[in-house]
Structure formats: C-alpha cells, structure tokens
Amino acid sequence: MSSKKKLVDQNLNDQLRKLYKTIINLPENSNFLENRKLCAHEFSKIFSNIKFILKGTENLPYESNSIFIYNHLNNHQNYSVFDDFQITLDSHFITSIILEKYYKNPGNRVVRCSLEEEKNHFKYYEKFNYIRVFAQNFIPPNINYSQIKTFNKNFYRESLDDLKKGNGIVVSPEGFSRRTEESPGDFKIGVFKLATKLKNQPKIVPIVMANFDKLLSQSTYKCEIMKPFKMSDYGIYKDDDPSLVEFVKDYNKQYKTWVKNLISEDLNFEAELKDLKKLIIQKKEIANQLVFYGSSTIRLWENIESDFSGFNSINLGFGGALIKDLKKNFKDLFKSLNPKYIITYLGGNDLTLGYSAKKISLKIIDFFKRVNKKFPNTLIINLSIKPSFERIKDIEKIEEINNLIELESKMNKNLIQLDFYNELMSGNKINSNFYLQDGLHLNNKGYQVIIKKLKKLLKNID
C-alpha cells in the first residue's frame, strides 16, 4: 500500500480516536440528547472528507418517527479505537448523514449491552442513553434466558415512547455485525413486532449498507435508502399475527439481494441503462415521440405517459447523471428514436463537482449541439435547474446557469428554456411544499408545476 493510502486510513483512525475522547470526557451530568447531536455533528465532519455513495434519499419519509433498519457491518480491524472497541461507521453514518441532516434529529439507537470487561464500549455509549438489549455472542455468563427476555422487553417500551415523541429509531434486525459479503444475517422478529404496536403504525425505512467494513483507501462506502413501508402494507396489524414470521424470512432474503446489488453498484449506471434499452425496444411506435432525458428529476417523474397522453412519451432519466454521462450515452440510447421533442434536465449534479456556472453552462450547450447535429428538426425543451435546500449554497450558480441557458435559447432556434424556478419559490425562500423530505427532489406538487407549464408550451407550439 502506498504511503498516501496509509495516510488516509491513519487519518480516519485518528479522527475516531479523537471523537472517542471528546465523548467520554463529556461531563457526567451532560444532556444525552445534546451528546447525540454533538456526536452526529462530529461524524458529519468526518464523513465530509470521505468518499461515499448515498442513493435513494428521495425515499425518505416525511415522518421523523420512523424505524430505520440496516444491515450492520463490522469496522475494518484497522479502525479500532482500542483492541476491544470499534466506533462503528455504518450506524454513525445513518444518524449523522441521514437522520441529523434531513430531520435535524439523530434519533435514538438500539445498542447491545456492554460486557463487564468492555470498559471502553460502556464509557462511550453511556453518554447517549440509547436503548439497550442483550445481543447474540455478548451475553454475560451470569445471565439466564428468562432474565434476557425480561430485560429485552424494555426495547418495546422505550422505542414506543420515543416514536410517540417524534424520534426515529435506528436498529439492526440482526443484532450482530458482519462483513459486507456475509450481510445481512438472520433477522430477528422484534423490530417488526415493534412496528405493529402503535395504532398508527410507524414506517420502516430499509437502509442498505456496503463496504463500511473495508479500508477507506481501498473501497467506496455505499448506502442506499429503499422505499419505506408499514407492516399493514402486508396485511399485518398485530404482533401475534402468524404470518409475521414468514414475512421476516422473505424480507431477509430480499435484503440480501439488495446488499449484493449495492456491492456491484457503480457510477456507470449499467443496470439502469440496460432497463432503458429494454423500454426503448418495447416502443414500437416512433411517431410523435416526446422523449424525456436527464438525471433524477426526470427519472423520478413516474407518470410521464399519462401526464402527456397525447404524445408517444418515453422516460429516459437515469441515476444522478452528470452532463458527461448524458452525453456519453446519448448516441446509444437515441439511435432508434425519432423524437419530435426532447425534454431535458441536466447540470444540477455537476454543481457537486465544484464547477463554475459558466463551465456547467458551456457543457450543457455543448451537449445541445450534439443533439442538434443528430436531430436537426427536433426541438429541445430544457427545464431550468430547480432551487433546492440540498444545494442552497449553490443557489446563485443555479440562477446564473439558468440565465446563461436562457440566453443560448435566444440564439438557438431549436432550443427553448422552460423556466419554473420562481414557481418553486416563496418570496426569497424555497417553498418546501414542492419537495420530498430530502429537500432535493420534487414531490407530486412540484411536478404539477412543471406539467402545467410544459403542457401549455406544447399546446402553443402545436
């Protein structure tokens, strides 16, 4: 391993040790809720210098009092604060990068009880007043099964109390950490029973983790948030429902598939592009095509065909595509298409690369030239980049890009810039009513704003 890579790993371990000292040195009477927030903020700083992939934030529910489940991973042995203690990266990623960021509340966690000899484990976790349970392979020798069962009942009482207060609960259904390739282990039934114990069932949010057990220098940490659900979605309303056991087994298998898929996930969008090519093949009719092409704002537009039923519509949005990804895959995806209109949305993701507004605009314009060359009689309708809470620091860049593309549309007869930026604002502030919980992607109300303007434009053109 190169000295540069060794430095990356050493730096992360140093940061974990520093955080450990910060936490255990907090005053004995310190407020555990404030301690949780402090820890989440410190971990946010740590992860800000770490390369990771986070997918599926559009699936986060609005309800903060949800149950966030995850496949629990070991740390790499090099990231041990002490020989007998690791501050696990995956669980802290969830509380800091997901819960604290999107709900302003790191929530509560379910943590195993410390063994008597695990002094560092105890010193660290006692500062947070998390929900404690006895876990497999960590049972004190003087505790019997009956005592364990009685103690673990506190899990239900404490969790329900927190959910009623509006707090999220972070828990691994396995109760035991593993390597990514072996994850997840068998799910215990407890957390799924918990989800049936409130009249208004909380949502369960599956969070899939991969590579947090690897050296940072040799891998990319990955996390994907899947669609949330309630147990009632599966016809389960009571904790003694006999179908609960079979549901957990089946869901466990589904989770294993998700982990395998996330392990192989890359940034080339291969799986999504494969599905798009199948979709194109199924489109036998090539007349009057209205093709939507772009990143997640297009991908997540679920009802394009019904929204524009007067056209032969097709949605070719994929992933968190950058301009270069859209340009790279354009020829292959469009080779058998005959679009009357191409609706584009691009450029927003390039802001994450630190590019200037001018550089992003030039890349967008260069892409449009490629489209014009292949389809000289096709009209491009470009959707302006939306304002978003996630990219609030780049709001001036977004406005500048939109203005520069508007100027380009004045000179390119085959380009129309459809601006809907102001409709998503309320005065000088972004209107949260148009956004999903992640503050980046549009909800149905947000899409209705675009649909209304686009329909009007298409009607006037035709």
Ranges of each domain in the chain = 3-264, 270-461
**pLDDT at position 180, please?**
96
Query: Are 141 and 132 within 8 A, CB to CB?
Result: no
- The burial of 343, by beta-carbon neighbours within 10 Å (0-12 exposed, 13-18 middle, 19 or more buried), is given as buried
184: preceding bond cis by omega (within 30 degrees) = yes
Query: Are 220 and 50 within 8 A, CB to CB?
Result: no
In 3-state terms, what secondary structure has residue 262? Answer: helix
**DSSP H helical segments within 165-205, as ranges?**
190-194
**pLDDT at position 303, please?**
92
User: 73-97 in b/e burial notation, b at 16+ Cβ within 10 A?
Assistant: bbbbeebbbeeebbbbbbbbbbbbb
| Distance, CA of 376 to CA of 369 (rounded, Å) | 10
The residues pairing with 315 across neighbouring beta strands, listed in sequence order, are: 292
Two tokens at 211?
Answer: 């590579």
CATH number of 270-461: 3.40.50.1110
CATH number of 3-264: 3.40.1130
**pLDDT at position 2, please?**
67
**pLDDT at position 1, please?**
55
| Distance, CA of 298 to CA of 345 (rounded, Å) | 7
Two tokens at 166?
Answer: 């509006």
pLDDT under 50 in the chain at which residues?
none
pLDDT in tens, 47-69: 998 989 999 999 999 999 999 99
- The tokens 């947070």 sit on which residue? 128
| Distance, CA of 448 to CA of 318 (rounded, Å) | 20
Query: Are 65 and 201 within 8 A, CB to CB?
Result: no
Q: Longest C-alpha distance within the chain, in Å?
A: 81
* pTM score of the predicted model: 0.92
Please work out, in degrees rounded to the nearest 5, the angle formed at the alpha carbon of residue 318 by the alpha carbons of 313 and 320: 140
| Distance, CA of 93 to CA of 71 (rounded, Å) | 13
Please work out, in degrees rounded to the nearest 5, the angle formed at the alpha carbon of residue 102 by the alpha carbons of 100 and 106: 20
- Chain centroid to CA 215: 22
| Distance, CA of 123 to CA of 114 (rounded, Å) | 9
**pLDDT at position 5, please?**
78
**pLDDT at position 247, please?**
98
Which residue, 212, 233, 228, 226, is CA-closest to 255? 226
| Distance, CA of 80 to CA of 93 (rounded, Å) | 16
